[in-house]
Amino acid sequence: MPPLVGKTWSSFWASLSGYAPLQNGDNATTASTSPDSSFNTLTLRPSITQILMSKRVRYTASAVCAGVIFFLAFHNYDRLPTLDSLRQQTTGSGGGASAPYCPNPGVSPSDDGKTDWTRFAYTQYVTNQAYLCNSVMIFETLHRLKSKADRVMMYPQDMMDPAETNPESEEARLLVKARDQYNVKLAPVAVQRRSGGDATWAESFTKLLAFNQTQYQRVLNVDSDATILQTMDELFLLPPCPVAMPRAYWLFPDNKILSSQLMLVQPSEVEFDRVMKTMENSSRNDYDMEIVNELYIDQAMILPHRPYDLLTGEFRGDSHEKYLGTDREEWDPVAVFNEAKFLHFSDWPVPKPWLSNAAMREQHQPACETKDGKEDCTARTLWNGFYEDFAERRKKVCNVKKPRR
């Protein structure tokens, strides 16, 4: 394109800005008689302000901005807030107390090599010798898997002095083993009991003392009637939130409640006070699961139950849509086991694995299936293996005899 000069340049600016060239009135007559009037005409170009205020520039700028916004929205559509997330920011529970919005976890976070792992801890609570052994087994697994976070055991303060060096009782021996072999920090506490009701459920209130471990930025409390299959250190690096828990998927969608089998907690005096006051005002049939749901059902970050909360009873079921989250995925017990990180023993009426009943287990073990004309007992083999593995580790870690089949 040839260079734009004289009227051609003025015409270009006029077409862009919507302003006509301005001429000096004193020179207009002289210019019209000049033989080179086309070049002697004194054209006053519009100012920058006039150009920017012109309709064409405004229309052009608006179109460009709209295009950029559309591109960004389309490119990052998965990061934009949804109606549900906006509602969660403006709604709360727990007696009308407002809580910070807790984003649901997306991609699992990873350690950048600069994380101070002393700010985080796995916690266990103990109320008697049977659960003490279970907790020591949990910590042995974390030690074996080389978990990076601290390990804290809350136990009855009258069970042993945390500085004991010459244990005499069986409980003291296990506590010292946890401390010295598995690097567990011992935290003597007053067990939180409720009058009436089943003792095991009543004493489970003690797990709520995790909210009071304010020496840590975050703690992960897991039930001890379970097996940790893989380390879960990545949970400590999730976005901030007072509490993060999975849903009780086996009750979903009829009951959208949280499972307290695994709780990622940000300890604080404020939250602990809320928990204790709710505990004091709870009814006779309310226990730890009811309390955390009353406080956090609309405020907790929801952890995916796959892979963080698998029930052993899932391998006995006929329908697996609730766990898989869809009716289009084929149930593959080996794949489900391989992806799981936390396996909770829940097989009613089969008792807990340390109270093994061979006849009961055999009666309620998973059924074999027929696939491609062949018998497939994979789920049964895995399920029985969970109980056998628990018994073997219990014998090795706690020196407890393996129950008879």
35 and 167 co-located in one domain:
no
Q: Which of 359, 313, 357 is nearest to 336 (CA)?
A: 313
User: What is residue 376's three-state secondary structure?
Assistant: strand
User: What is residue 151's three-state secondary structure?
Assistant: strand
| pLDDT at residue 220 is higher than 80 | yes
Cα separation, 225 vs 107, in Å, equals 29
206 and 301 co-located in one domain:
yes
Q: Which pLDDT belongs to residue 212?
A: 93
Which amino acid is located at 47 in the chain? S
Question: Is residue 79 very low, low, confident or very high in pLDDT (cuts 50, 70, 90)?
Answer: very low
Q: Which of 224, 289, 223 is nearest to 258 (CA)?
A: 289
- Domain with 10, as residue range(s), is 6-56
| 186 inside domain | yes
Question: Is residue 279 very low, low, confident or very high in pLDDT (cuts 50, 70, 90)?
Answer: confident
Please give the structure tokens belonging to residue 256.
């959208």
Q: Which pLDDT belongs to residue 13?
A: 37
Burial class of residue 87 (count of CB atoms within 10 Å of its CB; 0-12, 13-18, 19+): exposed
**Residues 320/121, Cβ–Cβ less than 8 Å:** no
**Residues 135/126, Cβ–Cβ less than 8 Å:** yes
Assign residue 240 the CATH number of its domain.
3.90.550.10
| 337 inside domain | yes
226 and 320 co-located in one domain:
yes
Give the residue with greater pLDDT, 181 vs 88: 181
98-112 residues labelled b (16+ CB within 10 A) or e (exposed): ebebbbbbeeeeeee
| 112 inside domain | no
245 and 363 co-located in one domain:
yes
pLDDT (tens digit per residue) in 321-342: 999 999 999 999 999 999 999 9
| pLDDT at residue 234 is higher than 70 | yes
| 361 inside domain | yes
| pLDDT at residue 25 is higher than 90 | no
Peptide bond into 253 cis (omega under 30): yes
180 and 323 co-located in one domain:
yes
Give the residue with greater pLDDT, 141 vs 165: 141
User: What is residue 306's three-state secondary structure?
Assistant: helix
Question: Is residue 371 very low, low, confident or very high in pLDDT (cuts 50, 70, 90)?
Answer: confident
Structurally, how many domains does the chain consist of?
2
Mean pLDDT over residues 3-14, rounded?
A: 43
Q: Indicate yes or no: pTM above 0.85.
A: no
| pLDDT at residue 133 is higher than 70 | yes
Q: Can you tell me which residue has the tokens 């074996």?
A: 144
159 and 50 co-located in one domain:
no
**Residues 191/206, Cβ–Cβ less than 8 Å:** yes
| 222 inside domain | yes
Give the residue with greater pLDDT, 108 vs 298: 298
| pLDDT at residue 295 is higher than 50 | yes
Q: Which pLDDT belongs to residue 302?
A: 96
| pLDDT at residue 153 is higher than 60 | yes
| 86 inside domain | no
pLDDT (tens digit per residue) in 168-203: 999 999 999 999 999 999 999 877 666 655 565 556
Name the domain boundary from 56, 74, 91: 56
Cα separation, 246 vs 389, in Å, equals 25
Backbone angles phi, psi at 312, to 5 degrees: -60, -30
- Percent of all residues in the chain with a pLDDT value above 70, rounded to a whole number: 69
226 and 359 co-located in one domain:
yes
Cα separation, 170 vs 402, in Å, equals 17
